[in-house]
Structure 1
Amino acid sequence: MTRPLRRYWTAGRPIERTAYLVGAVLMLWGAAHAVVFLLDDRPWAGPLSWRKPTTFGLSFGLTLISTAWVATTLPLAERTRRRLLGALTVACVVEVALVSLQAWRHVPSHFNMETPLNTVISQTLAAGGFALVTIYGTLTAVSFRANPAVSRSTRLAVRVGLVLLMAALGIGAAMIVRGVTAVYAGNPHLAYTTAGALKPAHAITLHAILVLPALVWLLSGTRWRESVRHRIVTVAATCYLVASFAVLLAVIR
């Protein structure tokens, strides 16, 4: 089971290996902030907690690695692949770095318009989110192109994973809009409470791009026929979609 993982690295393109390395560093960065949280007296919840650099580092790192891995199954031109993965890598680093900077400055990272610097950082974070929408929108569209070199189960897992990731970005955009609207209405506290309510739906849809392709990878170690693997992935993808929709309904009620 470890041979395919080694092959992804040894046979990977330079941009893919760069994404793997940067993703690993971001995850270590997030883990380091979890240690800082344990040593400090800040609470886990709230806009001034160490939770944000922790979760951003872990989530962005894991998502970057997952995307670089999944992109190997997509029929992309090499220049397009380099540009998309390069832009994604830069966006992930910027998002994690700015969130971490604000945590160390002891100020909120999002919806913070109290000073010119905080405003620039908050707006940059929002712009990064919309850049991610463009990148993943392109990858999602490409995933629906015919690619006979990839198994049906892989194509299904990647397509559903990317569609759900786009849903996660849409939820993230809704969180930003809610928060910014509350800030400009003069109620910054409401910005954090109303936007944060959507976090569970954002989280479950965000990581489908890892869970479903990982299932395909696990099934590749079996001797089952592709038709059986495809049925298993279909059931898993359906369950994931239902669970995501249920969480979304729960948080918007």
Structure 2
Amino acid sequence: MSAVLDPPRTATRPLHRPLLLMVASMALLLVVSAVGMVADDRVLLGAPVWGKPLKFAVSFIVYGLTLAWLLTLPHRASRWTWWMATLLAVTGMLDVGVVVVQAARGTFSHFNQADDPFNNVIQPIFSVGVQLLMLANVVLAGLLIFQRVGDRVLTWAIRAGLAFVIAGIGLGLLIPVRSNEVWTAKDAAGHVVPLAAQHNVGVPDGGPGLPLTGWSTVGGDLRIPHFVGLHGLQVMLIVALVLGFLASRVTRLRDEQTRTGLMIVAAVAYAGLIVVVTWQALRGQALIHPDGQTLGALALLMSATMAAGWAVLAAGGSPGRRRVVRPGA
């Protein structure tokens, strides 16, 4: 076990090839899905049948590239992270493959309870794949979140981002947990299909939705906090990148401690945003139609974030103008 925890011997590593293979397959799927959106007019619950494969392709491309880059950074337990990332790549391709097959069949990939020979085979495979995908993400986060990867700013960005990924996975589990009965919907051919869960709150799945995402515009939608959590890693890394860019132009940001403090403030603010959009969805409220309570919570979050940011900047002072105390002065 001690060998597993030894620090890496090299400063950088090549990009993780299984993840790159997954990204390449998702890029191909993106093209196929885009063509399908134009050429195939079938719909599921009012949305194009190829809309879900397209969204999954984009999400896995972004996450796969992010993780492949992240694993090039010096870190401990690199063999474990390599294998967990490989498991993630394999199960990601497997699960999205099921999504594609079901889309081509004009039926549902998630929570499909139809009792037919093909579905009875493919749904258990999909379920096991989802569980292994979640396991790979949790283990990867556990291996990386408690060690230093890069400078302090980047380390905190990665810690917060991976924590948000796990939160996003957990929020995705709210969808089946909240469902206590099977409901039915029609597939693209008009056949009635029993489904074990609904992602909308307060209104049935389907109906009016936002362009591209399909998020409900008339009720709550638990896919929103799930998405916001899963892609928090990219947001945190962008914040770290922006802080690093500004450090060469803003004197106060040249101090790593100040940038680290701002990074932590951004992470807490993003956690607050996840709480707000989850609360909003659970109350059956559409994202684009916030009520006074939601707007008040967002205003409070923004005010607290700005105050905390100013406090960090004030405490950091101006590194370039600090007084130098000479001996005997």
TM-score band by shorter chain is 0.7 to 0.9
Structure 2: runs of 5+ lacking an equivalent: 1-11, 186-192, 206-220, 249-253, 284-329
Give 1:163-182 correspondences, 5 Å limit.
Answer: 163-178=163-178, 181-182=180-181
Is the contact between residue 75 and residue 145 of structure 1 (CA under 8 Å) also seen in structure 2? no
Residue 43 of structure 1 deviates from its aligned partner by 4.4
Is the contact between residue 171 and residue 225 of structure 2 (CA under 8 Å) also seen in structure 1? yes
Q: Encode CA deviations 1:143-188: one digit per residue, 9 max, x unaligned.
A: 33333x6211111111111111111111222324456x53399993
Distance between the aligned counterparts of 1:206 and 1:154, measured in 2?
A: 18
Q: Encode CA deviations 1:128-155: one digit per residue, 9 max, x unaligned.
A: 22212221222222233333x6211111
* TM-score where L is the length of structure 1: 0.81
Please identify which structure carries the higher helix content: 1
Give 1:38-187 correspondences, 5 Å limit.
Answer: 38-43=38-43, 46=46, 49-73=49-73, 75-114=75-114, 115-147=116-148, 150-178=150-178, 181-183=180-182
Q: Encode CA deviations 1:99-144: one digit per residue, 9 max, x unaligned.
A: 0111001111112222132133223222222212221222222233
**Which residue does 1:215 correspond to in 2?**
239
- Percent identity at matched positions? 28
Distance between the aligned counterparts of 2:255 and 2:70, measured in 1?
A: 22
Distance between the aligned counterparts of 2:30 and 2:45, measured in 1?
A: 16
* Greater C-alpha Rg: 2
* TM-score where L is the length of structure 2: 0.64
Q: Encode CA deviations 1:197-242: one digit per residue, 9 max, x unaligned.
A: 3101111111011111132234334423322321332222122111
Is the contact between residue 60 and residue 96 of structure 1 (CA under 8 Å) also seen in structure 2? no
Distance between the aligned counterparts of 1:46 and 1:121, measured in 2?
A: 24
Please identify which structure carries the higher strand content: 2
Distance between the aligned counterparts of 2:34 and 2:178, measured in 1?
A: 28
**Which residue does 1:7 correspond to in 2?**
none
**Which residue does 2:188 correspond to in 1?**
none
Matched residue SS, 1:220: helix
Matched residue SS, 1:155: helix
**1:239 corresponds to 2:240:** no
Residue 35 of structure 1 deviates from its aligned partner by 3.4
Is the contact between residue 29 and residue 54 of structure 2 (CA under 8 Å) also seen in structure 1? yes
Distance between the aligned counterparts of 1:129 and 1:69, measured in 2?
A: 23
**1:225 corresponds to 2:225:** no
* Residue identity opposite 2:25 in structure 1: V
User: How many residue pairs are counted as aligned between the two chains?
Assistant: 240
